[in-house]
Structure 1
């Protein structure tokens, strides 16, 4: 059963030719010469970055997977970029659902320009976006302090302790205590 809308709206596409929720979708994306990516990718031979083509495949895949859920791309397997896509090309993207689980949906996608396959993704794994953010359970530490790992307590051949230079970035929602911020400004001064 094809969606009865004259032109279903899928962001980033100029036209959706076919959209069968839960089964397949076909969309057309025109590649304008004014796309900012062409300024630097590459100035003398403009090429649409593969990640933008992959993003278009995922966007159509999200529409095909179902409109009742906010989907995100979790994984990609078997991607092949076969030909360049440049300014003025019209890309036809086809997405088919190849598997469903309670945790997500797998789709297969192909992109064609003038009937020639320019890119294909064997599997794009889409999962529902989590409504809430679960912060890390690790306690906050001073910015200048080395990460706790087996390498911080190991001893080198010279008998000196090897310090890890690994830094764990803060996740969204995490904060550092005020003492950590002070010690980060002057790491040479010890805290009592």
Structure 2
């Protein structure tokens, strides 16, 4: 018997992530397989503030924001597995092998796929890729860190 996929709406995402508009880049989680993978959605709208300058005659979602959306998706996978509170900090710690394969434009639905690779102490490693209409838009290996109780935070 197949299990119903775990999903998260925007309200649960807001409970789990500290990000808010305009930097919150995940609109919905479509599937979570705990300890393994997550699939999320970012609706790319012409109303995004970065499109005013990137680029006025041909709006394109900046690659760095695609990577940030993937990192936020990885954070959601982590936070659905590990206990945390409002003092837990989640940082993007590194990126390897980032490649951009397709332009992401207003009106696109960016599908964010992140797979857990391994964890070493506070460092989590993931393989991530984003696609539009089934076509690879970007891929990267991500490293993130979780710090409990605000340790190491700037004071």
- Say yes or no: TM over 0.5: yes
1:10 aligns with 2:13: yes
Distance across 2 between alignment mates of 1:6 and 1:124 = 22
* SS of residue paired to 1:16: strand
**Which aligned pairs between 1:69-80 and structure 2 lie closer than 5 A?**
69=84, 70=88, 71-80=90-99
Query: Do the aligned partners of residues 81 and 6 (structure 1) sit closer, same or farther apart at CA in structure 2, a change above 3 Å counting?
Result: closer
Equivalent of residue 62 in structure 1, options 47, 72, 75 = 75
Q: How many residues align?
A: 135
Structure 2: state its 5+ residue gaps: 15-24
**Which aligned pairs between 1:157-172 and structure 2 lie closer than 5 A?**
none
Deviations 1:163-191 (A, max 9, x none): xxxxxxxxx55xxxxxxxxxxxxxxxxxx
* SS of residue paired to 2:136: strand
Query: Do the aligned partners of residues 5 and 77 (structure 1) sit closer, same or farther apart at CA in structure 2, a change above 3 Å counting?
Result: closer
**Which aligned pairs between 1:78-89 and structure 2 lie closer than 5 A?**
78-89=97-108
CA-atom RMSD in angstroms: 2.2
Maintained 8 Å contact 2:26/2:40: yes
Distance across 2 between alignment mates of 1:101 and 1:6 = 27
- CA drift of 1:2 comes to 6.7
* Structure with larger RCO (C-alpha < 8 A, sep 6+): 2
Tell me the TM-score normalized by structure 2.
0.77
Greater CA deviation, 26-35 or 100-109?
A: 100-109
Distance across 2 between alignment mates of 1:92 and 1:16 = 10
Larger radius of gyration: 1
Equivalent of residue 109 in structure 2, options 80, 86, 90 = 90
Equivalent of residue 65 in structure 2, options 48, 52, 56 = 52
* SS of residue paired to 1:38: helix
Q: Which is richer in strand? A: 2
Tell me the TM-score normalized by structure 1.
0.63
Query: Do the aligned partners of residues 39 and 5 (structure 1) sit closer, same or farther apart at CA in structure 2, a change above 3 Å counting?
Result: closer
1:109 aligns with 2:155: no
Structure 1: state its 5+ residue gaps: 135-171, 174-192
Equivalent of residue 146 in structure 2, options 128, 131, 136 = 128
